[in-house]
């Protein structure tokens, strides 16, 4: 009856006519095989959930199995309802006094819908706000069973896990590849309760005492007046703090190294940072540091690449993790332990184990593998899982205890406390992602968002009304019993031990352990970051700190800043390098590496097909890059000159001469018109692709005229890691070997 409504409905019908997304067809034109109406008009039976659409299998605080079932139950039935389960006829129009009249306040569906939307956002994490996560499984080798009674570390135990990776400084919407520390937090849903290993990709921390955490974070976060820069340490307040508070020197040096810009979450090491205490079945204790070792090796970006990615693909790490899991290339890490005798002084070969700015070199205490972590399932809802997961260093299980590291002590308070604000109350352990898999029988009651319907009348102990239940456990029934470690006799002080005062010998060891290329990168990073500071005094102070690490480092950065290099103020530490700290000089599997294959219509398309298949067979990812979308002979074009950027690829293959693209960026003829596909390798976008890949130390292969592309991109055909051969498959063979070393290190000036 209403002509406007009828017209709108007609337009809507035409638009949904093809039954496909805009990428698959032309809106309004029904596709030959598509049904005419996309939206079902009649209710269907709900589809069985895909395996990856369920929450973790958990039990509720009352011991009832819930998890997946309950998550599914949260949205069931065929008809749209309101939050109370009442079916709705229309969710597109507000209730009005006539089609052109005022909206009525009595529209309770409108109010419910908008009210809920208004409260969709929760406070982001004060640190580690931006993250990505995955489900997986931890398989224990049993090699730690002699030193810990933790059930999940017994031989052949399998434990479900959820792992969240993160940057520290940026907001939820910031970029992935900023220079920063990365979080590596693992929730083990063990049979004895939840164990969280809340670690980082850098084994040391900025501060030795938790009371300094607000200081270091206030300094690292954007300036309070303009709220810039986002997710960066390259600004005055950060450098002001870390140069005044020199215990931050070691962590800062790691941040300025390649470790601050990982290639992927899959190629990152992880560290528990603190020294923990393992407790064996016989009560014996051992001090321990936890390590995650990626099966794909440790690999980083180069700085220019990282900066480009921030614009080209701010979700680079998040996408990489999800894509790899979806493709079945499950990321894997081995959990390793370094163990030390639990002596009263808690030092190992002169290294204070309670000082979280220290590492223990692997050459002094080898990392022994104790189990394998495999991430094999993407979350099905980012908010419910990745955002609502709540880690806590105090989530411990029998067999793993804490030490007196003063940084760890503060964390034991902070992680519980922060969830109250972030997740809105004390019942966050009941959220599906946080629920333990072990039966829960606590006496915690009520509070905001209580979802358990507790039974019984006596949530207190001792009681007789509930038959004395629940009972307390003992050592023989799996109770968590703190190890009876002697407490040193002392007086109350606000102070740190003498041994915490050495801030430079460990950074010096790190510097001395780096290869020449890694040192070049560190020098570049310090120079870049300090040149972004406005205050001359801060730059000068930073140089004084660097002088105490190493004179060469200090002199090179000083040259870059145009300042004189100061003399050290403390004697340079006499330390041995630790080769295990360097990322260069190893060979790693090439699984999942991305090979871009550039061609045009005149290229060797049969050769491209052969090499594409060979890349796939080698467990890597081939992406065919053509001038425009569509097909190149028998091949589907996956990237075009317009959307391919070097940062997406680990290696490039140039298959003959790519045609010049014919858009605004393509080559022009004398009259300024787009040049025809003349076979001249002058398309500036291909030139940029190749020259960037070259600059970033990536392997490049060429055949069948691909040499001309190299020349046009100013890449010498005889440079290290550039392979010119007679066929794509021959080029790939050499490229694969180069990829195993991650980058062509010889291409960097320092090499």
Residues with a known catalytic role? 128, 200
- Among 60, 66, 159, 200, which residue interacts with ligand HDE (rule: CB under 6 A)? 200
- The interface with ligand HDE within residues 178-197 (CB under 6 A) comprises 183, 185
Q: Looking at the DSSP assignment, which residues form a beta bridge with residue 703?
A: 655
In the complex, residue closest to ligand HDE by CB: 183
- Among 125, 266, 291, 698, which residue interacts with ligand HDE (rule: CB under 6 A)? 125
The residue count for binding ligand HDE (CB under 6 A) is 25
In the complex with ligand HDE, the residue whose CB is nearer, 379 or 607, is 379
Please report how close the Cβ of residue 405 comes to ligand HDE at its closest, in angstroms: 9
166 binds ligand HDE (CB under 6 A): yes
**303 contacts 501 by C-beta, under 8 angstroms:** no
Q: Taking the alpha carbons of 343, 345, 346, 348 in that order, is the dihedral positive or negative?
A: negative
Q: How far apart are CA 195 and CA 58, in angstroms?
A: 15
Please report how close the Cβ of residue 204 comes to ligand HDE at its closest, in angstroms: 9
Q: Taking the alpha carbons of 397, 398, 404, 405 in that order, is the dihedral positive or negative?
A: negative
Three-class DSSP labels, 602-650: CCCHHHHHHHHHHHHHCCCEEEEEECCCCEECCEECCEECCCCCHHHCC
- Cβ count within 10 A of residue 455: 9
Q: What is the DSSP string of 86-148?
A: -B-S-SSS--BSSTTSPBPTT-HHHHHHHHHHHT---PPPSSS-SEEEEEEEEEE-STTTTT-
CA distances from 394 to 260, 436, 437 (A): 27, 14, 17
411 binds ligand HDE (CB under 6 A): yes
- The interface with ligand HDE within residues 239-278 (CB under 6 A) comprises 273
506 binds ligand HDE (CB under 6 A): no
384 binds ligand HDE (CB under 6 A): no
164 binds ligand HDE (CB under 6 A): yes
- Among 58, 60, 71, 127, which residue interacts with ligand HDE (rule: CB under 6 A)? 127
In the complex with ligand HDE, the residue whose CB is nearer, 404 or 606, is 404
**400 contacts 161 by C-beta, under 8 angstroms:** no
Phi, psi of 336 (to 5 degrees): -125, 155
- The interface with ligand HDE within residues 213-242 (CB under 6 A) comprises 213
296 binds ligand HDE (CB under 6 A): no
- Closest to 419 (Cα-Cα) out of 467, 387, 453: 387
Stated as kind and residue range, the H or E segment containing 319 is helix 316-326
291 binds ligand HDE (CB under 6 A): no
199 binds ligand HDE (CB under 6 A): yes
131 binds ligand HDE (CB under 6 A): yes
CA distances from 114 to 4, 90, 592 (A): 25, 15, 44
353 binds ligand HDE (CB under 6 A): no
426 binds ligand HDE (CB under 6 A): no
- Among 141, 415, 428, 504, which residue interacts with ligand HDE (rule: CB under 6 A)? 415
Q: Mark the segment that binds ligand HDE (CB under 6 A) among 292-300, 374-382, 405-413, 509-517.
A: 405-413
Q: How far apart are CA 358 and CA 355, in angstroms?
A: 6
Instruction: Show the tokens assigned to 671.
Output: 């009259």
Please report how close the Cβ of residue 441 comes to ligand HDE at its closest, in angstroms: 25
Please report how close the Cβ of residue 390 comes to ligand HDE at its closest, in angstroms: 6
391 binds ligand HDE (CB under 6 A): yes
Binding residues for ligand HDE (CB under 6 A): 125-128, 131, 164, 166, 183, 185, 198-200, 205, 210, 213, 273, 389-391, 407, 410-411, 414-415, 418
């Amino acid at each position: 009856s209403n002509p406007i409504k009828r017209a709108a409905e007609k337009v809507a019908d035409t638009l949904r006519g093809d039954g496909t997304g805009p990428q698959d067809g032309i809106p309004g034109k029904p596709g030959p095989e598509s049904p005419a109406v996309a939206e079902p008009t009649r209710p269907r039976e709900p589809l069985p959930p895909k395996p990856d659409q369920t929450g973790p299998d958990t039990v509720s605080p009352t011991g009832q199995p819930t998890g997946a079932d309950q998550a599914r139950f949260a949205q069931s039935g065929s008809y749209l309802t309101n939050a109370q389960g009442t079916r709705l006829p229309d969710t597109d129009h507000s209730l009005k006094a006539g089609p052109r009249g005022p909206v009525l306040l009595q529209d309770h569906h409108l109010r419910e819908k908008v009210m809920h939307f208004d409260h969709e956002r929760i406070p982001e994490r004060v640190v580690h706000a931006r993250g990505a996560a995955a489900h997986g499984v931890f398989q224990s080798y049993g090699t730690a069973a002699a030193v810990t009674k933790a059930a999940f570390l017994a031989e052949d135990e399998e434990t479900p896990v959820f792992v969240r990776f993160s940057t520290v400084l940026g907001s939820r919407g910031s970029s992935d590849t900023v220079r920063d520390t990365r979080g590596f937090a693992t929730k083990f849903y063990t049979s004895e309760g939840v164990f969280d290993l809340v670690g980082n990709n850098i084994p040391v921390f900025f501060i030795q005492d938790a009371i300094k955490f607000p200081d270091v974070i206030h300094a690292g976060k954007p300036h309070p007046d303009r709220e810039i820069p986002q997710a960066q340490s390259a600004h005055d307040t950060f450098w002001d703090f870390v140069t005044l508070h020199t215990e931050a020197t070691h962590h800062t040096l790691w941040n300025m190294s390649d470790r601050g810009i990982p290639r992927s979450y899959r190629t990152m090491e992880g560290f528990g940072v603190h020294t923990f205490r393992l407790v064996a079945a016989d009560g014996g204790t051992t001090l321990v540091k936890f390590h995650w070792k990626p099966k794909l090796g440790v690999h980083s970006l180069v700085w220019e690449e990282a900066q480009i990615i921030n614009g080209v693909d701010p979700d680079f790490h998040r996408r990489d993790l999800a894509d790899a899991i979806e493709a079945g290339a499950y990321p894997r890490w081995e959990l390793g332990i370094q163990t030390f005798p639990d002596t009263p002084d808690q030092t190992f070969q002169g290294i204070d184990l309670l000082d979280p700015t220290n590492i223990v070199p692997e050459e002094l205490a080898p990392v022994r593998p104790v189990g394998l972590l495999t991430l094999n399932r993407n979350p099905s809802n980012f908010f419910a899982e990745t955002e609502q997961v709540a880690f806590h260093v105090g989530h411990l299980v029998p067999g793993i205890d804490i030490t007196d590291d003063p940084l760890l002590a503060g964390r034991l308070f902070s992680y519980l406390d922060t969830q109250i604000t972030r997740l809105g109350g004390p019942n966050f352990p009941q959220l599906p992602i946080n629920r333990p898999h072990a039966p829960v029988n606590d006496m915690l009651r009520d509070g905001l968002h209580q979802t358990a319907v507790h039974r019984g009348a006596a949530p207190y102990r001792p009681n007789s009304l509930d038959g004395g239940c629940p009972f307390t456990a003992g050592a023989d029934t799996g109770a968590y019993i703190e190890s009876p470690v002697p407490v040193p006799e002392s007086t109350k002080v606000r102070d740190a031990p003498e041994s915490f005062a050495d801030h430079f010998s460990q950074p010096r060891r790190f510097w001395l352990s780096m290869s020449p290329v890694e040192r070049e990168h560190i020098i570049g990073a310090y120079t870049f970051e300090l040149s972004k500071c406005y205050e001359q005094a801060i730059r000068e102070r930073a140089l004084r700190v660097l002088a105490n690490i190493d004179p060469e480092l200090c002199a090179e950065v000083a040259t870059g800043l145009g300042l004189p290099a100061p003399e050290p103020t403390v004697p340079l530490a006499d330390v041995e390098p630790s080769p295990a700290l360097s990322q260069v000089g190893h060979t790693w599997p090439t699984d999942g590496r991305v090979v871009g294959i550039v061609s045009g219509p005149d290229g060797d398309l049969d050769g491209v097909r052969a090499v594409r298949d060979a890349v796939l067979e080698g467990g890597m990812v081939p992406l065919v890059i053509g001038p425009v979308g569509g097909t190149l002979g028998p091949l589907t074009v996956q990237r075009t000159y317009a959307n391919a950027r070097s940062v997406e690829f680990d290696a490039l293959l140039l298959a003959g001469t790519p045609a010049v693209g014919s858009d605004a960026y393509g080559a022009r003829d004398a009259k300024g018109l787009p040049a025809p596909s003349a076979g001249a390798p002058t398309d500036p976008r291909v030139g940029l692709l190749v020259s960037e890949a070259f600059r970033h130390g990536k392997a490049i292969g060429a055949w069948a005229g691909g040499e001309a592309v190299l020349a046009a991109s100013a890449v010498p055909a005889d440079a290290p890691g550039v392979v010119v051969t007679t066929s794509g498959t021959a080029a790939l063979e050499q490229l694969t070997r180069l990829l195993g070393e991650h980058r062509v290190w010889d291409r960097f000036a320092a090499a």
